[in-house]
Structure 1
Amino acid sequence: MLRRFRPDPYIVALLTMVALASALPARGVVEDVLDQLIVVAIGFLFFLYGARLSTETVIAGIKHWRLHLLVLAFTFVLFPVLGLVIRLLPDAVLSSELAAGVVFLCLLPSTVQSSIAFVSIAKGNVAAAICTASLSNVLGVVLTPVLVAVLLSDTGMSFSGGTVLKIVVQLLVPFALGQALRPWIGGFVGRHKKVLGLLDRGSILLVVYTAFSGAVVAGVWSSLSGWDLVALVAVCVVLLAAVLLITGFVSRKLGFNREDRITIVFAGSKKSLATGVPMATVLFAGTGAGLVILPLMLFHQLQLIVCAVLARRWGAAPASSDADSPATAPTPATA
């Protein structure tokens, strides 16, 4: 039972960066140096994303277009709608800054590695999971900035010429370069997956520290109360529960088999921390990125805990059994 709810070590590392930034925020020359390193780190991250994602796999999976369209609809339509509903909550329930962070997490693409892993454990359609999660990330590089510009233009992010140029230079160009060089470097990336993964995660830790340093210097913690954090946890739990139930219910009503429903539930209910953290730094200028990524970090931990429980439960059930099927997924409170 304790292992089931054990926090992800990477989330612990992220929270450590938040604590470090709160106690020793970067200032002056250190802050300037880190800002330059962040530009390089974000470019490196999206270069790796492009090099890892197999374009051939995405193209080969187009034949399962109904599943992919449904997952994309959950990822880039259902989630944003739910995020906008949450943003209607009064400030007394959830502060406007945290509500904007919840909307931002709702605009992100699905995860790749964890979605595929959970689908495999639950005995779902792994090939479809690879295709749909990869497609979500490819489209997310373009769709997420556009959706942020449309839905969160009042938070300090807008599609000015400078912002568009920043997105192109720091996100799209490295991603496209990684895709273009994949035939030559794909093998190298695969062979050194662990080392590059450490660099990948280390870069995100650096981004989190820098983002929260700026927020701390601006007095972010003085504007947050214990109630804000409690309310944020409750909102993330309700959001995850709603998406899990809706993805399971709709996929069953549309006639997908059990394996495909498992894929739809996991790929359609998850949000990518690895993509979201660097994107927030690029899209939200000044001190906005610190509070924006806080809901994402919390939601990411919740989705790992709940999806791990569901994957083991569905994987242990007979293939023909509908017990605990994706159409009747337990909520995070009961999982």
Structure 2
Amino acid sequence: MSHPLLRRLRPDNFSLALIATIVLASLLPCRGGFAHFMDVLTDAAIAALFFLHGAKLSRQSVLAGATHWKLHLTVFACTFVLFPVLGLLIRPLGEWLLTPGLYAGVLFLCTLPSTVQSSIAFTSMAGGNVPAAVVSASTSSLIGVFLTPLLVGLLLAQHGGVSGKAVVDILLLLMLPFVLGHLSRPWTGVFMDRHARMLKLSDHGTILLVVYTSFSAAVVGGLWHETPTSALIATFAIDAGLLTAVMLINVFASGRLGFSREDRIAIFFCGSKKSLASGMPMARVLFAGQAASFGALVLPLMMFHVTQLMVCAVIAQRLAARARVR
């Protein structure tokens, strides 16, 4: 393996920070009063994050999506239909190789919306349809606030599903700040457009807070004592298999549907990725009463996050190089 390829496969700085946070929570979990303080701080950070996302999303970009509905429907089908179907199809394998919590985490992963920043970045790097990627990824994230809790309730019925309180909490903690942020856009829009990096830092900081507080509770509840190493390895293999299957089906379907090269690239990156930025806050609300098993429920998502970034980085650079040769 060449050195350039090794550099491309190296996890990004945020993924390394994610791993470091898990290690910190495993060695120094927060307890007692400090844990309660961190929970309140994390909820406040989540509400602020969704307010910023609402302020960033322009109404024009959402309306522009109607002009390329075939592409967006294809992305949504990959995100909210194909992934859940594959998650259910691997049930026998998941129940054999994984713990119940880890398999429930795989199903939760399958219900999540697409990423925003990285989908757009990889589409741009590979020479794809960037405006379409912006609309698809942003709209997927918005729809996911409503659709993910419904899919979780359907797919995880035997794991307790989601309660009415969890749906109300989603609306109050995630959707209400998002709507308020969007309504504030006439006053905050210019500032958000000029300080896009602030949203990325807010994304990352909030995720690390959620990971630390949630993993602390899971570690105190005995996460690492109850999860065998073989199940962790199997989780990574299943994540990699899911990503590979979706990418292959995605390439085949977008080709058969007659999309242009630029559109196929946008569909490929938006339709094969899952959002850690949306997933961690949603998991915190949806599984609020399952602190002891929370770590297992989100481990598949975090493994998938690192895997998709590494794989997509290599593919995007190869597509870009192929375009330059043309």
TM range, smaller chain? over 0.9
* Equivalence for 1:30: 34
Match 1:83 to one of 75, 84, 87: 87
What's the counterpart of residue 44 of structure 2?
Answer: 40
Runs of 4+ in 1 over 6 A off after TM superposition: none
Decide which of 118, 121, 127 is 1:123's aligned counterpart. Answer: 127
Query: Which amino acid in the other structure matches residue 310 of structure 2?
Result: I
Q: Is the 8 A contact 1:74 1:247 kept in 2?
A: yes
Deviation at 1:90, TM superposition (A): 5.3
1:331 paired residue number = none
Amino acid at match of 2:78: F
Partner of 1:330: none
Classify 1:90/1:116 alpha carbon distance in 2 versus 1 (closer, same or farther; 3 Å): closer
Q: Given the alignment, which residue of 157, 171, 174 partners 1:171?
A: 174
Counterpart residue number, 1:10: 14
Higher relative contact order (CA 8 A, sep 6+): 2
The equivalent of 1:67 in structure 2 is 71
C-alpha contact (below 8 Å) 2:123/2:269 kept by paired residues: yes
After TM superposition, give the deviation of residue 183 of structure 1 in Å: 2.0
Kindly tell me the number of residue pairs found equivalent between the two proteins.
320
2:113 matches 1:109: yes
Q: Structure 1, residues 79-105: CA drift from partner, whole Å, max 9, x if none?
A: 011111223325441222111111111
Q: Which moved more, 1:211-220 or 1:287-296?
A: 287-296
Q: Distance in 1 between matches of 2:199 and 2:272?
A: 27
- 8 Å contact kept, 1:44–1:174: yes
Shift of residue 213, structure 1, vs aligned partner: 0.6
Deviation at 1:319?
7.8
1:197 aligns to 2:227 (yes or no): no
Moved more, 271-280 or 51-60: 51-60
Q: Is the 8 A contact 2:53 2:199 kept in 1?
A: no
User: What SS does the corresponding residue of 1:81 show, helix, strand or coil?
Assistant: helix
User: Quick one: which of 288, 291, 309 aligns to 1:304?
Assistant: 309
Q: Judge conservation of contact 1:236–1:295 (CA < 8 Å) in 2.
A: yes
Cα deviation 1:238-269 (Å, max 9, x = unaligned): 11100000000000011111111111111100
Summarize the Cα distance change of 1:16–1:318 in structure 2 as closer, same or farther, 3 Å threshold.
closer
Cα deviation for residue 21 of structure 1 reads 0.8
* Residue number in structure 2 paired with 1:140: 144
CA distance in 1 between counterparts of 2:323 and 2:23 reads 45
Instruction: Please point out which of 218, 222, 231 is paired with 1:219.
Output: 222
Decide whether the 8 Å contact of 2:149 with 2:162 is kept in 1.
Answer: no
State the match for 1:183 in structure 2: 186
Code of the residue aligned with 1:269 in structure 2: it is S
Please state if 1:230 is matched with 2:207: no
Q: Tell me which protein shows more helix as a share of its residues.
A: 2
Query: CA 1:320–1:81 in 2, change beyond 3 Å: closer, same or farther?
Result: farther
Q: Counterpart in 2 of 1:51?
A: 55
CA distance in structure 2 between the partners assigned to 1:153 and 1:144 by the alignment: 14
* Distance in structure 1 (CA, Å) of the matches to 2:135 and 2:226: 42
Of 280, 283, 286, the residue aligned with 1:283 is 286
Q: CA separation in 2, counterparts of 1:57 and 1:284? A: 32
Q: Which position in structure 1 is the counterpart of 2:212?
A: 209
Task: Tell whether the 8 Å contact from 1:46 to 1:175 is kept in structure 2 after alignment.
Answer: yes
Q: Secondary structure at the match of 2:24?
A: helix
Q: Say if 1:54 and 1:134, in contact at 8 Å, map to a contact too.
A: no
Matched with 1:324 is none
The 1-side partners of 2:11 and 2:89 are apart by 29
Amino acid at match of 1:188: F
Of 251, 255, 262, the match for 1:252: 255
Q: Is the 8 A contact 1:87 1:100 kept in 2?
A: no
1:196 deviation in Å? 4.0
Q: Deviation of residue 18 (structure 1)?
A: 0.8
| Percent of matched pairs sharing the same residue | 54
Measured after TM superposition, the shift of residue 222 of structure 1 is 0.5
Once the 2 structures are TM-superposed, how far is the Cα of residue 8 of structure 1 from its aligned partner? 1.3
Q: Which residue of 2 aligns with 1:273?
A: 276
Partner residue, 2:162: 158
> 1:327 maps to which residue?
none
In structure 2, list runs of 5 or more residues that go unmatched: none
Aligned equivalents of 2:159, 2:324: Cα separation in 1: 47
Question: TM-score, normalising length from structure 2?
Answer: 0.94
Contact 1:236 1:299 in 2 (8 A): yes
TM-score (norm 1): 0.92
Structure 2 distance, partners of 1:126, 1:4, is 22
Q: Is the 8 A contact 1:79 1:106 kept in 2?
A: yes
